[in-house]
Amino acid sequence: MSLFGIIFGLALLIFLAFKGQSILWVAPVCAAVVALFGMFEDPSINILTMYTENYMVGMSGFVKSWLPAFMLGAIFGKLMEITGAAKSVGVMLTKLIGAKQAILAVVIACGALTYGGISLFVVVFAIYPLAVALYREADIPNKLIPGAISLGAFTFTMTAIPGTPQIQNIIPTQYYGTTAMAAPLMGIVAALVMFIGGIIWMKMREKSEKAKGLHFVEPSNIEKYDESNLPNPIVSLIPLISVPVTMNALKVPLVGALLIAVVLTMILNFKNYAVFTKCINDGANGGLMSIGNTAAAVGFGSVVKAVPGFATLTGILLGIPGNPLISEAVAVSCLAGATGSASGGMGIALEALGPKYMELAANDPSLTPEALHRVASVASGGLDTLPHNGAVLTLLSVCGLTHKDSYLDICMNCCIIPTIAVIVCIIMAVIGIL
């Protein structure tokens, strides 16, 4: 009954997430369902205690560990967005590559911003007008814009490239004692699989759509911008470069690296000081909402871990034939898909199973914490981008398109190809290439 409760609670979580309900209330309700069924096997379980202790301890522990990073990251992104610094970098990169390679230009511009620590939501708003300008000049159908943006912002720089400051690459460090540079060869190869595979797919789609006689159509929702008012792009690059450099080369913790980037952005864009207070307020509010969603998912994982059925579930997952990395990838991918969140799904999986995988790693020289880190990170960025994912909904809304128009490209670039990259990572780990 307890195992059934876990499955039923997770199914309810998936259903309500698909319906667009906030995980802030969905997660505790579904956790209560898990606890209720757990009572059939262990009468000592108390639903209220499960909420006040297990759920809240898991949720508050995650907030305690990650609130500064989420909040500073959101403030940094908002400063780069409002001052025009993010858009300035995007303009420079897209001009360097040119409209003849419009898709590649959009992907690289998105990748540069996300690797610099900018939130993928900010990247969507900053790059969309540039993508429209490039696609207009190259006469590429608008429906291919979301595929290029999602490839650059939601995949290789989010989970795979060693040293990326995106939270999906940082969360595993808490459970495995690793760094953002964990398993660099695995990360680089996975990133190449996603980048090259995605570019090939998008170029095939461009050729196919043009063969059908489709052309660029001027969108009605395009945001006009004046390049003359944008800050110097080279200067705007400095805060973006500072985050991975200070974090990985100088070994500054993520919070310190983001704080340095925030201060640098303010100094380099001081003429815009009038908007700094608004950026800080908006960023702080956005960061709090973002961490709240992920922490709520982690709290659900804490309750799952506390009921009797969890031992059975663990046995099933760890009983998957082959290397334990396979079961980790399956658990993280499925939970990321269930919650519609890479960080949320990873949070549930690692909160519940992370200690068990570390125990296995301690007794198996071929299973390293670095490999566990990279597989978990890359796996989190696969099924998370199912149709109900918040970033997917935001991207399509900004582009003025529907799932029917563009989800095929998003699915291929962000679900199918990243899943292939996870398989490649597992094979590399098994043969000892980290």
pLDDT of residue 212: 94
CA distance 426 to 368: 12
Number of domains in the chain: 1
What's the mean pLDDT in 416-423? 97
pLDDT of residue 1: 84
User: Torsion angle, CA of 395/401/403/406, rounded to 10 degrees?
Assistant: -80
Whether 219 is covered by a domain: the verdict is no
Q: Compute the half-sphere exposure of residue 100: CA atoms within 13 Å on the CB side of its CA.
A: 2
CA distance 434 to 419: 18
Whether 222 is covered by a domain: the verdict is no
What's the mean pLDDT in 253-263? 95
**Contact, 421 vs 160, CB < 8 A?**
yes
* SS3 label, residue 51: helix
Cα dist from 365 to 358, 368, 371, 432, 433, whole Å: 11, 7, 11, 10, 13
**What residue numbers bound the domain in which 97 lies?**
2-214+227-430
What's the mean pLDDT in 112-123? 91
Q: Which of 132-136, 213-217, 242-246, 388-392 has the lowest mean pLDDT?
A: 388-392
Q: Is the pLDDT of residue 20 over 80?
A: no
277 Cβ neighbours under 8 A, 6+ residues apart = none
- The DSSP string of 371-409 is HHHHHHHHHHTSGGGSTT-HHHHHHHHHHT--HHHHHHH
pLDDT of residue 31: 92
Query: Residue 417 — very low, low, confident or very high, per pLDDT cuts 50/70/90?
Result: very high
Whether 59 is covered by a domain: the verdict is yes
Higher-confidence residue: 3 or 108? 108
Q: Is the pLDDT of residue 338 over 80?
A: no
pLDDT of residue 295: 86
Whether 193 is covered by a domain: the verdict is yes
Q: Is the pLDDT of residue 183 over 70?
A: yes
pLDDT tens digits for range 281-336: 998 998 888 888 878 888 888 898 889 988 887 788 878 888 899 999 999 998 88
CA distance 124 to 202: 18
pLDDT of residue 224: 59
Length of the chain: 434
227 Cβ neighbours under 8 A, 6+ residues apart = 91
Question: Residue written as tokens 């199912």?
Answer: 386
Whether 188 is covered by a domain: the verdict is yes
pLDDT of residue 290: 82
Q: How wide is the angle at C-alpha 404 spanned by C-alphas 402 and 409, nearest 5°?
A: 95
Directed axis angle between helix 120-138 and helix 56-82, to 10°? 40
Mean pLDDT across the chain? 91
Q: Is the pLDDT of residue 29 over 90?
A: yes
Cα dist from 264 to 231, 252, 285, 420, whole Å: 14, 15, 21, 38
Q: Is the pLDDT of residue 10 over 70?
A: yes
CA distance 30 to 163: 35
CA distance 369 to 380: 16
Whether 250 is covered by a domain: the verdict is yes
As given in the structure block, the two tokens for residue 46 are 């108390």
52 Cβ neighbours under 8 A, 6+ residues apart = none
Q: Is the pLDDT of residue 11 over 80?
A: yes
pLDDT of residue 60: 92
CA distance 432 to 434: 6
Using a pLDDT cut of 90, give the percent of the chain over it: 62
pLDDT tens digits for range 206-240: 999 999 999 998 887 665 556 668 899 999 999 99
pLDDT of residue 37: 94
Q: Is the pLDDT of residue 428 over 90?
A: yes
- Show the DSSP H helices in 98-182 as ranges: 102-115, 120-138, 145-154, 156-159, 167-176
Q: Which of 134-138, 149-153, 374-378 has the lowest mean pLDDT?
A: 134-138
Q: pTM, whole model, 2 decimals? A: 0.85
Q: Is the pLDDT of residue 119 over 90?
A: no
pLDDT tens digits for range 78-94: 999 899 999 899 999 99
pLDDT of residue 226: 62
Q: Tell me, rounded to whole angstroms, the distance of Cα 189 from its chain centroid.
A: 18
Q: Which of 3-17, 156-170, 191-205, 395-409 has the lowest mean pLDDT?
A: 3-17
pLDDT of residue 221: 65
403 Cβ neighbours under 8 A, 6+ residues apart = 387, 396
pLDDT of residue 139: 95
What letter does residue 88 receive in the DSSP assignment? H
